[in-house]
Structure 1
Amino acid sequence: MNNHRSMSQRKEVPKCRPFFEMIDLTEDKLPKARLPKQIAPDAVAKTWTVPELCEAYGWPKDLDGGGVIGILAMGGGYQPSDLEAYFKGIGQPMPDIENVVVNGVGNHPNQPPSEDFDPDVEIALDIEVAASAYYVATGKPAKIRIYWTDMDLRSMAPAIQKAAADGCSVLSISWGAPEDAWEWLFWKFGQNVAVQLEAALIRAAALGMTVFAAAGDREANAGEPQKTVNLPAACPHAVACAGTSKTRDKEIVWNNDPGKINGIGTGGGYSSLFFPQSWARGAPVGIGRMVPDVAGNADKNTGYRIYVHGNERLTGGTSAVAPLYAGLFAAFGKRSNGFVNPILWANRDCFQDITEGNNDGWEAAVGPDPCSGLGVLIAHELASLFTVANAPKPYDAPKPYKA
């Protein structure tokens, strides 16, 4: 492992953070219910409802579905009234939601947010995006299980194992932390939590659960002094989800602050903890596993219209990409293929390549790259691949970690 400079500066156990960006969070730091306000027409024209985005990504229709969507929640909560308003607004039924407390307090909305994020926004984003994406593909309400835990990095692996044991077909994770933070736990306490996390993902895959993880929103440095990537996205048995800026006629790598290190934009790069993976054929060679695997719309300026704290809000982040694709894969059936990365990488014609933009560390290029991965899913092509009886199976397993 690399002993990064920032390890010695840490004063307490690092915590997972959600990966989302919201346009008007600074308007009112303390969340409170208010009458819905109308978003400016010019902002609406540049952003998407989930059904609109699914249509643009070629979502399949009338799939059998049946997959249970797991969502990992590491703080915050939701109000049923917000969800009811959201789904009524897009003409969809409410999903069936079950709360599972792994540790912590469970669903606990309307707590004062920190200076830079409100976890209630993350929970609303995850539920609303995943459920509506599933409904577009199936015409049926989604079944969602939310796995509640605290923000300690060590809480993530048990929650993953619980979701897999409960029979979830997919798990969406919009939380994470730079590899440096996970290494710090090893050096401080002798706990190799990164390896424990990957081991939990391997066991989950063996039980048929596919895990989608947000790649992060602080560009190639992930908020650190050096280039790095976030876990769990960098774990080989997670599908790492990066971000794009998608307008009605163009899609590029998401970067709101070009030339600014640790600006707002998609994460991506190479792991210093996990080896390059043999199934990532065609990936540019780097020091470790290349992140991401896939990409999707994440820019808050071309982002998602959700409903939280009594208002329609505009938000984005790689936190939106993980539940979007989790909702699609849950529509493929009760159990997916578990570890799907080798299948995705062996079927590059199921993706729209992103060839323009950068994350202030890595450039987009023709073919896979460390800021947009394989590109954006062509959803109906993947549906044809994963819903047939003879869908290809993973052909090998990656080495679990780099010493």
Structure 2
Amino acid sequence: MAKHVVAGSERQPVVGSKRLHPTDPHEEIEVKLKLRRKNDAAYQALIHKLEEGETVPAMDRKTFASQFGTSSADCTKVHEFASAHGMKVVREAPQSHLMVLAGTVAHFQKAFDVKLDVYTHPKLGKYRGRSGPVHVPDELEGIVTAVLGLDNRPQARPYVHAKFDANSTNDEPQPVAFNPLQLASRYKFPHADGRGQCIGILEFGGGYRDRDLQAYFGLLGVPMPEVVSVDIGHATNSPSPDPQGADLEVALDVEVCGAVAPAAKIAVYFAENTEAGFIEALATAIHDDVNQPTVISISWGAAESEWTQQTVARLNDALQMAALLGITVCIASGDSGSHDAGPNKPDAVNFPASSPFALACGGTRIDEHGDGAKAEVVWNDGPKGGATGGGISTLFERPVWQAGLSAARTKGEAIELTHRGVPDVAGDASPDSGYLVIVGGRVGAIGGTSAVAPLWAGLVARINSIKGAPLGFVTPRLYRHAGVCKDIRHGNNGDFAGSKGWDACTGIGVPDGEAIARTL
């Protein structure tokens, strides 16, 4: 029986890793398969319209599943394959082309012709890894488009920068620049509370505590929003005792969304921090017919080069599905300036923010002592303080709505865009003009582009509640009406500079919420 390579599945251990030993062949693991969709030609025709900047009426989830889900015949073939190889299907979601298999390492190594070893890395710790591509047999060729979870290295990182007083408590608020309501006022968010909407938030570690949320919204004087956690696989809402852990990200996301849109339901999707977990989390949120989010906020990511090609393709597919379902997806552009892959590496941008189907959110710093145009500038607090992610993608060609744009260089001439430019929009991100939060009973200020994605998500939820319909895939329309954002022209993120019009630091600028609501 022939074996066929799954396109884009090649992977190597993380640079700097040391192989320890083979993985225990009896260890039980889960692996996620992404499958092809039905009616691909019709699907691609709709995506082409979106790529051309056309507006496509939002589909409901049931219709999408019927027209473009995975066929029952393909699902049956996966069940038969799993049974023949000593594995079982433990979860399946044909509407999002996902099936999850469980079995031993030995079963998976034989079924997909891979060798799994245990590695250790100075920063990532121990993980299960592999080298080379994944293979599938004849009966699954063309059906399986990705095999995820054989490698379980930590994949994404949150984009937060925190400043806490070591002795602070939620009874003693420390001086911070802004709370989310003040920023909503500064950015002229329309008067609304997000009623009737659901904001989905993706998290890959940490958790939230109800007592923190109650203290926070009580401090702000806004109603406590409805917050629900959605556990995916073996991940749960798990607050950590680590004061610098992922709880900071979770608290920031929930508290910013909840402050800006307190009448919206907030659904927090917890998944494992792996490529497989990222795929399942986004698919679950998009196709959640219980909570039905109309906007999703993602404040995690990694440099484009750190993802496998199969995962990039499948996550981009998921963001396309969100666009067809009328869901706006706001994604942080990263906090490492123009060097998302590291300070001594070439310019790089963050994925999934670099997907053309994302609303990529960059960052500014607000200086209340500044005047005029310099009162808000590109966020760049230096190597230790972080800077807004931005630059030019190496994975995605330039979308039509960025035609004719150039990225101004800090030193030298501007570069005409031939590939996707990041970010699209911006908002306050510096911890020096940060966001009031309460996490683990402590009050402090958090910055990072992680704050900008939930801020924009809250704005979208407000506008959706006013319209009574979702804004959906809003990115092309924002470029067509760039005047609805305030241009940020001063500062740089390393190799790219702020400039008139779009730039690779703050996109088309920070929001004028009333203008966006009125125009779009």
Which TM class, normalised by the smaller chain length? Answer: 0.7 to 0.9
Letter in 2 for 1:146: V
Q: Do the aligned residues in 2 keep the contact of 1:220 with 1:267 (CA within 8 Å)?
A: yes
* SS of corresponding position for 1:72: strand
1:21 to 153, 161, 171: 161
Show the counterpart of 1:193. Answer: 311
**1:11-40, CA deviations, whole angstroms, 9 ceiling, x for partnerless residues?**
653521100100138x49xxxx9564441x
CA distance in 1, matches of 2:476, 2:498: 21
**1:333-353, CA deviations, whole angstroms, 9 ceiling, x for partnerless residues?**
264232111111111110100
CA distance in 2, matches of 1:104, 1:347: 43
Q: Do the aligned residues in 2 keep the contact of 1:147 with 1:163 (CA within 8 Å)?
A: yes
Show the counterpart of 1:395. Answer: none
Letter in 1 for 2:489: T
Show the counterpart of 1:228. Answer: 348
Q: Give matches, 1:128-143, under 5 Å.
A: 128-135=255-262, 141-143=263-265
**1:65-91, CA deviations, whole angstroms, 9 ceiling, x for partnerless residues?**
422100001110011000000000111
Q: Give matches, 1:212-361, under 5 Å.
A: 212-224=330-342, 225-248=345-368, 249=371, 250-257=375-382, 260=383, 264-284=386-406, 285-333=416-464, 335-361=469-495
Give the CA deviation at 1:9. Answer: 4.3
Q: Gaps (5+ residues) in structure 1?
A: 136-140, 187-191, 387-403
* SS of corresponding position for 1:273: strand
- Taking a change above 3 Å as real, the CA distance of residues 172 and 62 of structure 1, as seen in their structure-2 partners, is closer
Show the counterpart of 2:300. Answer: 175
Give the CA deviation at 1:98. Answer: 1.4
1:90 to 186, 196, 220: 220
Q: Do the aligned residues in 2 keep the contact of 1:128 with 1:306 (CA within 8 Å)?
A: yes
2:507 to 373, 376, 385: 373
Show the counterpart of 1:389. Answer: none
Flag the structure with larger Rg: 2
* SS of corresponding position for 1:162: helix
Identity value in percent: 37
CA distance in 1, matches of 2:436, 2:451: 11
Q: How many residues align?
A: 357
Answer 1 or 2: which has greater strand percent.
2
Q: Do the aligned residues in 1 keep the contact of 2:212 with 2:439 (CA within 8 Å)?
A: yes
Q: Scaled by the length of structure 2, what TM-score is found?
A: 0.65
Show the counterpart of 1:362. Answer: 496
Q: Per chain length, whose mean CA-contact separation is higher, i.e. which structure has more relative contact order (CA < 8 Å, sep 6+)?
A: 1
- Taking a change above 3 Å as real, the CA distance of residues 8 and 119 of structure 1, as seen in their structure-2 partners, is closer
Q: Gaps (5+ residues) in structure 2?
A: 1-7, 18-120, 122-126, 128-152, 407-415
Q: Do the aligned residues in 2 keep the contact of 1:243 with 1:321 (CA within 8 Å)?
A: yes
Show the counterpart of 1:66. Answer: 196
- Taking a change above 3 Å as real, the CA distance of residues 335 and 198 of structure 1, as seen in their structure-2 partners, is farther
Structure 1 segments (4+ residues) deviating >4 Å = 5-12
Give the CA deviation at 1:8. Answer: 4.6
